[in-house]
Amino acid sequence: MGQGEVSDAFLQQVFRKVDADASGSISSNELQSALSNGTWSPFNPETVRMMIGMFDQDGSATIDYKEFKALWNFITEWEKVFRGFDEDKSGSIDKTEFRKALTSFGYRLSDRFYDLLIRKFDRTGRGTVAFDDFIQACVSIQTLTNAFRQHDRLQNGQITINYEDFLSLVFSLKM
């Protein structure tokens, strides 16, 4: 096992603890109560719902052990990214750190857009984004980008769609 990897036995033990009702699957409520965003406040329920939706392969609105393992890896990787861009080690990402993160992912966005992102994903009103909200923001941007690219036939960063197509595009996204 490489550094930072955990054993299957450890993950099974964690899964059993999180699966509070011993049903063999984890609900969003069970997952939310088990996750920490590093600020001693509950993980954002919208982020939990989004992650369950991403990893729930059978449409049960819960995750089984196999899905939990994939989710664990996803969260672990995002935590590494988050810590790497939390330059001041405050436990949250400010506008400058957020810009550096998204720029490193290949996004070139305006200051005005970063102001909007901070307003949208800052639940504390301090001008920063916690770990769970950072995940939600990044996954949302990636999901929207993928949907946009399907309509960007010339790959020039512009699309032309009518209003109903726009609504269909947005409401068909799994977010």
CA–CA distance, 35 with 44 (Å, rounded to integer): 9
pLDDT for position 162: 94
Q: pLDDT tens, 46-75?
A: 888 888 888 888 889 999 999 999 988 888
pLDDT for position 38: 62
Residue 37's nearest CA partner among 85, 100, 81, 79 is 79
pLDDT for position 174: 73
pLDDT for position 53: 86
- DSSP-derived letter for residue 148 is H
Output the CA torsion 7→11→14→19 (10° steps): -160
Q: Which residues of the chain register pLDDT less than 70?
A: 1-5, 36-40
Residue 107's nearest CA partner among 73, 146, 152, 165 is 146
CA–CA distance, 99 with 140 (Å, rounded to integer): 15
For tokens 């509950």, what's the residue? 42
Apex CA 149: angle with CA 144 and CA 153, to 5°? 155
pLDDT for position 40: 62
pLDDT for position 1: 46
